[in-house]
Amino acid sequence: MAFDVSAVVGPQGWVTSEELLIRVSPRTVGSWVAAGKLVRLRPGVLALPSAAQQWRTRLAAALEGREAVASHGTALALWGLAAHPSGPVHVSVGTSMSARGSAGMVVHRAPAIWAERRRVDGLAVTSVERSVVDSWPRPAGLDRTAVRAAAITAVRDRHCSPRDLLTELARRPRLGDRTELSRLATLLADGCRSELEIWGCLQVLRAPGMPPFVQQRRVTVAGRTFVLDAGYDDVLLAVEMDGAAWHGSRTQREADIARDALLATIGWQTLRFGYARMTRSPDACRREILAARQARLRLFAADRVR
Residue-wise pLDDT tens digits, 249-276: 788 889 899 999 999 999 999 999 998 9
Residues 112 and 183 in one domain: yes
Q: What pTM value is reported for the model?
A: 0.85
**Helix boundaries (H) for 128-218:** 128-135, 144-156, 162-170, 178-190, 195-200
Terminal Cα-to-Cα distance of the chain (whole angstroms): 100
pLDDT, the chain, mean: 91
Is residue 247 domain-resident? yes
Is residue 38 domain-resident? yes
Is residue 200 domain-resident? no
Residues 44 and 78 in one domain: no
Per-residue confidence (pLDDT) for residue 246, from 0 to 100: 52
Per-residue confidence (pLDDT) for residue 176, from 0 to 100: 85
Q: Does pLDDT of 175 surpass 80?
A: yes
In which band, very low, low, confident or very high, does the pLDDT at 139 lie, cut at 50, 70 and 90?
low
Is residue 58 domain-resident? no
Structural domain including 246 reads 208-305
Cα-atom radius of gyration of the chain, to the nearest Å?
27
Instruction: For residue 201, report the phi and psi dihedrals to the nearest 5 degrees.
Output: -65, -45
Among 190, 219, 241, which residue terminates a domain? 190
Domains identified in the chain, total number: 3
Residues 148 and 126 in one domain: yes
CA distance 155 to 83: 18
Residues 74 and 42 in one domain: no
Among 190, 217, 235, which residue terminates a domain? 190
Residues 75 and 162 in one domain: yes
List of E strands, the chain = 14-16, 39-42, 45-47, 68-70, 89-93, 105-109, 118-120, 123-125, 214-221, 224-232, 237-242, 269-274
Among 156, 190, 224, which residue terminates a domain? 190
Render pLDDT for 52-77 as a digit per residue (tens, 0 to 9): 999 999 999 899 888 999 999 999 99
Strands 237-242 and 269-274: parallel
Render pLDDT for 287-304 as a digit per residue (tens, 0 to 9): 999 999 999 999 988 877
205: three-class secondary structure by DSSP: helix
Instruction: For residue 140, report the phi and psi dihedrals to the nearest 5 degrees.
Output: 55, 55
* Range 175-188 average pLDDT: 93
Residues 149 and 243 in one domain: no
Is residue 196 domain-resident? no
Nearest Cα neighbor of 196 from 272, 274, 252 is 274
Per-residue confidence (pLDDT) for residue 98, from 0 to 100: 76
Please name the residues in contact with 173: beta carbons below 8 A apart, sequence gap of 6 or more. Answer: none
Cβ–Cβ contacts within 10 Å for residue 103, how many? 12
Please, are residues 125 and 116 in contact by the beta-carbon 8 Å criterion?
no
- The CA-atom distances, in angstroms, between 68 and each of 18, 80, 157, 195 are 20, 19, 26, 33
CATH number for the domain harbouring residue 254: 3.40.960.10
Residues 236 and 186 in one domain: no
Q: Does pLDDT of 111 surpass 80?
A: yes
Cβ contacts of 109-112, under 8 Å, gap ≥ 24: 110/71, 110/134
Residues 180 and 112 in one domain: yes
Residues 40 and 91 in one domain: no
Residues 69 and 47 in one domain: no
Per-residue confidence (pLDDT) for residue 76, from 0 to 100: 97
* Range 38-65 average pLDDT: 91
In which band, very low, low, confident or very high, does the pLDDT at 305 lie, cut at 50, 70 and 90?
low
Per-residue confidence (pLDDT) for residue 248, from 0 to 100: 58
CA distance 109 to 104: 17
Residues 213 and 269 in one domain: yes
Is residue 148 domain-resident? yes
Residues 89 and 41 in one domain: no
Is residue 198 domain-resident? no
Q: Does pLDDT of 5 surpass 80?
A: yes
Is residue 102 domain-resident? yes
